[in-house]
Structure 1
Amino acid sequence: MKPVRMIWTCLLGIALLISGCSSQGGAPDQEKKRLKVGIMLSDVGLGDQSFSDAAFTGLMQAQEDLDIFFDYRELADTTTYEQGLTELVEEGNDLVIGLGFMVKDSLESIASQYPDTTFLLIDEVSEQPNIISLTFKEDEGSYLAGVVAGMKTKSNVVGFIGGVDVPIIRKFETGYIAGVKASNPNAKVVSEFAGDFGKADLGAQIAGNMFEHDQADIIYAAAGFTGIGALEEAEKLGKLAIGVDTDQFFLAEKAVLTSMLKNVDVAIYSAVKTYQEQREFSESHLEFGLQENGIGLAPVRVVPMTKKEEQTFKTLKQQLLSNGIQ
């Protein structure tokens, strides 16, 4: 078991133990009313220091604040998404969450078999009546990351590394390119898709090629664990990088300029709170962007922005909120 995954597992055990103890003195009817949430994590699972960890954090916060109970499954343990989702449904969870676009087909299959269960699909959109879709405006956060990259590049070449070439990762790329061009029309963006979210060595190799052969001096990686390898390679070569999903500064403190924050924890917490209060969703599609605090940008470190750059950033951010990505 990976050290980080072990830490997350231990934290879950402690959280579940505390929640179990807190309910022992309650009446049986109170326990029946307690919301149960199950989540099938994305392919890499706990310890990805990104997407799954953020979702897990949101549910732990919901358990602490809202007194819900939650359980989870990882692909490494269930082998298939279908198996994990089935287990969560049959354990009596009121709300079952599928994390990531790759779980969509499996979630739709299981949802059709359990029409009385409510499902929440993160990062994709489904038309099935018992599936609520929750998506993010990743292009907005990536735009802000691009604005910073455009201002801070010295070579006028910056890179983008995507995990897999699918529409949602293209949203990251599109927003990033637009942001770079908004702050630096002379800058060039080179892109490459790794084809995998779980290979740090591959991310390091792609980043190394961009730095050494393309003359990029900043890379932005929307590639999960593969992206972590890119961040580490940037630090090794004395270059700059931009993290994704969570503030990844601590992974490569000499290299990570900022991180595009995809606040999965905030969105899941909000969705769970809504469902706990109403026992239903009034909308079939929930969307979180800058305005809803579903997207953001971590502090700019390593090479802080100048006063002039801060003003440019604020201006472009306001234009984004007012007019969208141009």
Structure 2
Amino acid sequence: MKKFILILLVMMLSAAGCSSASSEEKPDENIQTIGILLSDTGLGDGSFNDSAFRGLERARDELGILFDYREAPDGNFEEALEELVAQDHDLVIGLGFSIQEALEKVAKEHPKQQFLLIDGSSELDNIISITFKEQEGSFLVGMVAAMKSKSNKLGFIGGADAPVIHRFEKGFEQGAKYVNPSITILKDNANNFGDAALGSSIAEKQIEQGADFIYPAAGFTGVGSIQAAQKAGIYSGGVDSDQYFIAEKSVVTSMLKKIDNAVFNLTQQLVSEGSISESSFELGLKEDGVGLAPVRITELTDEESKKIKEATDKIISGEVSIETN
């Protein structure tokens, strides 16, 4: 019910941002248009999808583009992508690694259409790829978690057994152990990005095992984990977007995966240059593709803040390397 309300609110507020172009022609050849297929959980996830949507809204307001979007909760990504291709957009975006297979299939069938894959890497000539160094931002969240943990046990909840989720996990673990080498990380895989109740139950289990900081990388499933942490009176960390407002008594900080900035910046290049020259992007701390949201609820000491700043600089310089395998 909560997710339905979130989705309804986002759709009501964002309706003006979507292109009303027919499937046969663009409304104006001088206006750039973009189509996006959102990942599995769709709008209202308070995280991944909503961040990308904000980027397109900003592009609409500041750059004058139009956009349309599709959701495919039934998993029929190809049909949704074909609908967007039929609208003759200047760029069609597939959001999330789970869409890659369908996106590549559709891209092969439409070689003149320009596509963008976010959270995956493709070798096809008409697909631009964007990946993020989630491990770098997660390393900093792990540091904060270890600094504020009293039990020396932290919890990590992943949404899938996938490379992108492993980057969250490995970064979080190594950041925590950078502060406290003896700290314990409890790990669970939800295998689901859209079940808040499942996320809540996993978090509750980890809390029973002694975790006093929960870090989920699991979309809307993670929202349930954060809310369970708040109910239990312990700390948590958000992902992708600043999730403080989901649980204002629990979320200390969030690992910002700046999908909104990436979408806006590429759209800006498309508008100004008429095309996007690069074939792939990998965005980390150095490129301002990931980062930390403000620390709230608790305060970092001057020494703790200094240590996080030093770690950030060392990651950017390459002095600190984060293992993701």
Q: Give yes or no for TM over 0.5.
A: yes
Moved more, 270-279 or 88-97: 270-279
Query: Is 2:7 the counterpart of 1:5?
Result: yes
CA contact (8 A) 2:17 2:67 kept: no
SS of equivalent to 2:298: coil
Query: Is 2:36 the counterpart of 1:34?
Result: no
SS of equivalent to 1:33: coil
CA contact (8 A) 2:17 2:66 kept: no
Moved more, 270-279 or 113-122: 270-279
Amino acid at match of 1:190: L
Contiguous gaps of at least 5 residues in structure 2: none
SS of equivalent to 1:270: helix
Structure 2 equivalent of residue 292 of structure 1:
287
Structure 1 equivalent of residue 112 of structure 2:
116
For 2:118 and 2:274, the matched residues in 1 are separated by 18
For 1:288 and 1:149, the matched residues in 2 are separated by 23
Query: Is 2:192 the counterpart of 1:196?
Result: yes
For 1:253 and 1:9, the matched residues in 2 are separated by 24
With over 3 angstroms needed to count, the CA separation of the structure-2 counterparts of 1:274 and 1:305, relative to structure 1, is same
For residues 12-52 of structure 1, what are the alpha-carbon distances to aligned partners after superposition, in whole Å with 9 as ceiling and x for unaligned?
223348x99xxxxxxxx993121110000000000001011
Contiguous gaps of at least 5 residues in structure 1: 21-28
For 1:137 and 1:152, the matched residues in 2 are separated by 24
Residue among 294, 312, 320 paired with 2:315: 320
Deviation of residue 94 (structure 1)?
1.1
Query: Is 2:52 the counterpart of 1:50?
Result: no
With over 3 angstroms needed to count, the CA separation of the structure-2 counterparts of 1:121 and 1:203, relative to structure 1, is same
CA contact (8 A) 1:111 1:119 kept: yes
Structure 2 equivalent of residue 209 of structure 1:
205
CA contact (8 A) 2:142 2:172 kept: yes
For residues 238-282 of structure 1, what are the alpha-carbon distances to aligned partners after superposition, in whole Å with 9 as ceiling and x for unaligned?
111101011111111111111100011000111111122222222
Structure 1 length-normalised TM = 0.93
Structure 2 length-normalised TM = 0.93
Structure 1 equivalent of residue 266 of structure 2:
271
SS of equivalent to 2:252: strand
CA contact (8 A) 1:202 1:229 kept: yes
For 1:250 and 1:305, the matched residues in 2 are separated by 20
CA contact (8 A) 2:130 2:282 kept: yes
More helix by share: 1
Amino acid at match of 2:213: I
Structure 2 equivalent of residue 62 of structure 1:
59
Structure 1 equivalent of residue 89 of structure 2:
93
For 2:95 and 2:27, the matched residues in 1 are separated by 29
Following superposition of structure 1 onto structure 2, how do residues 127-276 of structure 1 map, counting pairs within 5 Å? 127-213=123-209, 215-276=210-271
Amino acid at match of 1:283: E
Deviation of residue 101 (structure 1)?
0.2
Query: Is 2:309 the counterpart of 1:309?
Result: no
Amino acid at match of 1:15: G
SS of equivalent to 1:111: helix
For residues 221-253 of structure 1, what are the alpha-carbon distances to aligned partners after superposition, in whole Å with 9 as ceiling and x for unaligned?
000011011101101111111010111111111
CA contact (8 A) 1:262 1:295 kept: yes
Structure 2 equivalent of residue 24 of structure 1:
none
Deviation of residue 301 (structure 1)?
1.2
Query: Is 2:277 the counterpart of 1:282?
Result: yes
For 1:289 and 1:272, the matched residues in 2 are separated by 19
Q: Which runs of 4+ in 1 moved over 4 A?
A: none
SS of equivalent to 2:170: helix
For 1:44 and 1:30, the matched residues in 2 are separated by 29
With over 3 angstroms needed to count, the CA separation of the structure-2 counterparts of 1:34 and 1:203, relative to structure 1, is same
SS of equivalent to 1:287: strand
Pairwise CA RMSD: 1.7
